[in-house]
Structure 1
Amino acid sequence: MMTNSSRNRMRMTGDKAKSRPGDIWVISKGKLTDMDLSRICEGGETETVTAYSLSELGRYLLNPNPIQVEKKLIGCEVHYYPPYYKIKSKIRKILPKKLHGLLKDEQIPPDALLSNYVTNKAPMNDKDLELHLNRVMELLRPYDPVIKKLLDLDQSKVADIVGTCQDVGGNLSYLNIQGSIDDKIGYLTEFIYKNVGVILDKAYISDGLFEMKGFDFQSYEAEKSYRLIKFFINGEAKACVLGVDDKVECWIEDVKLLHYLQLFAQLIKMNPKLNKSLKLCMTGKAEPMKLFFNRQLGIDYSEANLPEIYRRAFEMHDIAPSKKSIIKPVLNHSQLGVTFNYVPQSRTGADRLFVNFSVMHNFKALEPIKDALPQVYSEINKSASITEVGKFYLLDSFRGYKDDS
């Protein structure tokens, strides 16, 4: 027998699938509905909740579970025991705890061992020659300075070895290697300069930054959706993703994360260039890297040319160029930067980070020009759209390779 909640869920997901056939989407607009929360949280009653449809991409961005991504293992940090550590440890065992502080350890800075091995080699036309060269490189690995230093370590003095990984964008992260010191050295000598699986706590890293490599864009199904609800219990906002029979699939640890999804969904509709970048990932022509929201942009438009959206408005209504001085000051406030980084396929085989950067602007910031330039205000208003986060429009956008001058 189908429950009312099941019918509602099917109706919501069905409507969402019809409206976006094959397109990438993140989250729908919220709809108010009454729901019995007693099975979801303790003390819950029938309350009015805000219900959303969530795409596979949206669910990935909110999921609190660990993800695995591939990064290049480029070296390690070797951590040493303090001098006389073993002797002091034995003495501490026979001393009262209140006297342990008398035996202070002198910390030794860790050794950072990073390889300069060339990993981004372009594929060769002669596959036999390429295979031969790869075998030669493998034979030479034990003579690499990093590996030689690891093999020469006095393991009795080593407390830990932590791997150092790097992504295409040059971002470094640490890799906890399991096992004894000997196991860790063996792992590093076998896998250094190679891609390894790195476990991250979740897709949301911190401060508006999301790891995108963990999402399989090529398997993305626009028709597939999940139900997300947001509600208040004792004045505290809560949100969760629901599964079969409205059972909680996962709780959203920070409800503010929904704001990032709503802004991302809004931007996808506004920026065709971003949409094109996402579709490259969906077709396997690019590898996603990072998604970053930044409210501390500080782009100074007082010295730069007016963005295209304003130039068009000035030309359309034949407004004198001298009026630009009224516009520029308001553009320097209430900016939100959204960066989507990815690596396009390359014929040369060289991995280069491509940056898709968008500047969203809060429409409220335009209040000072409402009376002075009503025609411009009206034109920008047509481009703005409203979400729970606020009313924003696309002010500017840039695209290009990170290392281009």
Structure 2
Amino acid sequence: MSTSTKNQSKILVDIGSSTVKVYKQKGSAVSPLFTRSIPFKERFDQDIGIYEPNKTELFELLNEIKDKHPDSQIKLYATALYRKLTTKAKTELIYEVFVRTGLFFNIISHELENFYLEIALVGKYTKDEPVLLVNIGGGSTELVAMYGNEAVEKRNIDFGVGTILTNFPKLNENYSGHDLQEVVESIKEKLPELQNGFSTAIYNGGELTYMRLAKYKLDKNLIFSDPNHPNTISAEYFLKRNREIYSEVSINDLKNLMPDNPNWMLGSRACCAIAQAVFDKYNVKTIVPSDSNLIDGVVRQEFRYVTISGSFRKHLPYILEARKKLVEGKVQVLSSRFTEPKNPGEEFVVFTGEENATPLELERHHLDSINRSDALIVCDPEGYVGASALIEIGYAQSIGKRIIFTEKPEEFMLNTLPREVGL
């Protein structure tokens, strides 16, 4: 049964509002290949979609990736502004990308993106206490209290790096025209109270790279073992270096640390002030700087919820095997919910636990579960797709849901629809 592409290398593409980041996955290892800047925000319209020249550049880039990696499975993960598209504009973009490139333009929800980030950041954190995840963006800051793999508390705060730069316009003078503590105190006033206490925080957003470049005093991570999080820094030394970044390190020196993208450093003073305020406010003692992103989360666990489709009459053992593998990977199968058939081989297979439901009620539940799933998984050994599965595929297609066939479908029309092949 070819439901897995585990031994095949994959190319994972993170498509944001202004950048396309391309990674190669082999097994559980991920390595960045390159980043391309495309200003998708320019003349973006939620009813129409991406500005035509930017769309053309995207198609050219995706086809270039296909040409360079002909033997790799290529997966796309679109975030940010693509979620703002109307349903009509979204389905049209998905269709056009598929026609022009043969790839499925997978627009992930904000909740799924958060899940990927959370999994990426705490996947190997084993300490029996909450850890604070800190993700600082241009216009917002997200704080998440994680206990194990569960988010027990979340706060989205309506300010970020851009807000601080606006409120403190002298931050990016050659040496900061604002005192660090002045900025930190103003931020702390806006931070919410949290129910949980933390000794450790994981600080995300390229901060491992930044701290290495800016020569923060990093120690070996002795809290948990994870190659993506090799270092920690004490709150004491974080504050000490931040003070120096404000008063002793010039903005030109900071920009020179990143010659390929010097303007990235223009947010460094604002960002470290927000982080300093967070760590002060919540009495964090140890900070784990992180470069992890949603792609790291995808590699650790791609799906939260799925719906499985296929011919339960003809291919029940195949479907149950695929289901077993998904469940072993901590994926929740929303439908079908049960695994013991009451009438195997009959025209409409009913499982133990759903005997009192009519075929129509069962099919409606199945369709509703597609709405709540991250993907529809179609089990089609040798490419066979039954009548009920065709209904479910059509419904998933109409709402822009991700569709994954375990094998290439034999039906010609199914190969013209936006879809992926292979789990």
TM-score bucket (shorter structure):
under 0.3
Q: If the length of structure 1 is used for normalisation, what is the TM-score? A: 0.24
Question: Which structure's residues are more often strand, by fraction?
Answer: 1
Q: If the length of structure 2 is used for normalisation, what is the TM-score? A: 0.23
Between the two structures, name the one with larger relative contact order (CA 8 Å, sep ≥ 6).
1
Rg (Cα) greater in structure = 1
